[in-house]
Amino acid sequence: MRVVFMGTPEFARPVLAEILSQGHEVVAVYTRPPAPAGRGMALVPSPVHKLAEGFGIPVFTPRSFRDEEVIATFAGLGADVAVVVAYGLILPKAALEAPVEGCLNLHASLLPRWRGAAPIQRAIMAGDTKTGVMVMRMEEGLDTGPVALADTVEIEPDMTAGELHDRLSLLGADLMARALGALSRGTLTFTAQSEEGVTYARKIDKAEARIDWSRPAEEIHNHICGLSPFPGAWFEADWGQGPQRVKALHAQFAEGYGVAGTLLDDELTVACGSGAIRLVQVQRAGKTPMGAAEFLKGAPLAQGKRLA
């Protein structure tokens, strides 16, 4: 099929690679413009941009789809279908209707649960035990379109958002390839989403990343896992140099109780509002992730110390 691919982050890259491997003609790629990164703030192309250039595919990086010229260029590509995966721009009705078969979106949740920007993180933070990926036909509403295909995965204990992201990305690549195959044969069908069970996965705000030790252990555990590796749930500890911010990247449930935020042993077990968790992997500012033992060597925190 003649495909226009629209995506930006690492999550979308395997999908584009799989579409190319299936022999579809990707006539153009749309992605967000290069963004400043690193100490030098040099402009860095998106992961999808880099992959497309490697295959010699024309890349377009409009900052908005509100411009009539942008829509005209998009429509002029004569695509059978557009595949949209975490693109990052809102497509108006004129763009959604430009390809012959419309626009297919890969969404990382079991719709209608977790419509919106951060479905992977929100599923873990809410304590969901399963999630998945779905291929839907895009409408003007936020992730409201009818669904064609879906695959489900279990959210394993202690699984982080990063780990779930990678699993769903590969699963989604296969699912979208199957959807395009069925579309080319004229056998792809769609089912309207249920009106019940709708939830919204709002964008992660860095302000919500700080750990509140007064919350129950289950909520703190899910908070840590859902924000790992980015932006990373964090706390402050003081070992004689003033408060230092520390990210918690991996956590497990543990035995113990005490005043919320208190270290219970030399393995980074911390008392919560109810129950306790053990911090398995943490990261100090400017350092690489490390285990509890390595962290405590450089930050001698005694049992009974309070974390903020």
| Residue that has been written with the tokens 């005694």 in this structure | 302
- Would you state the pLDDT for residue 292? 87
| Helices marked H in the chain | 13-21, 47-54, 68-75, 93-96, 119-125, 161-185, 217-226, 292-298
- Would you state the pLDDT for residue 201? 98
State percent of the chain over pLDDT 70: 100
229-238 mean pLDDT: 94
Contact between 248 and 233 (Cβ < 8 Å): yes
Is 241 strand, coil or helix?
coil
Averaged confidence pLDDT in the chain: 95
Contact between 299 and 239 (Cβ < 8 Å): yes
Task: Give 99-111 pLDDT, tens digit per residue.
Answer: 999 999 999 999 9
Task: Give 141-156 pLDDT, tens digit per residue.
Answer: 999 999 999 999 999 9
Task: Give 63-84 pLDDT, tens digit per residue.
Answer: 999 999 999 999 999 999 999 9
Confidence tier at 242 by pLDDT (50, 70, 90):
confident
More confident residue, 70 or 243: 70
Is 10 strand, coil or helix?
helix
Confidence tier at 241 by pLDDT (50, 70, 90):
confident
9-37 mean pLDDT: 96
Confidence tier at 266 by pLDDT (50, 70, 90):
confident
Asked if pLDDT for residue 40 goes beyond 90, the answer is: no
Decide the pairing of beta strands 269-271 and 2-7.
unpaired
- Would you state the pLDDT for residue 301? 75
Whether residue 229 has a cis bond before it, omega within 30° of 0: yes
How many other CB atoms are there within 10 angstroms of residue 283's CB atom?
19
Asked if pLDDT for residue 38 goes beyond 90, the answer is: no
CA–CA dist 251, 255 (Å, integer): 13
State percent of the chain over pLDDT 90: 87
Say which range, 33-42, 146-155, 190-199, 275-284, has the weakest mean pLDDT. Answer: 33-42
32-39 mean pLDDT: 85
Asked if pLDDT for residue 306 goes beyond 90, the answer is: no
CA–CA dist 262, 213 (Å, integer): 9
More confident residue, 42 or 30: 30
- Would you state the pLDDT for residue 305? 79
Burial class (CB in 10 A: 0-12, 13-18, 19+), 199: middle
262-270 mean pLDDT: 93
Looking at the DSSP bridge assignments, the partners of residue 136 are: 105, 147
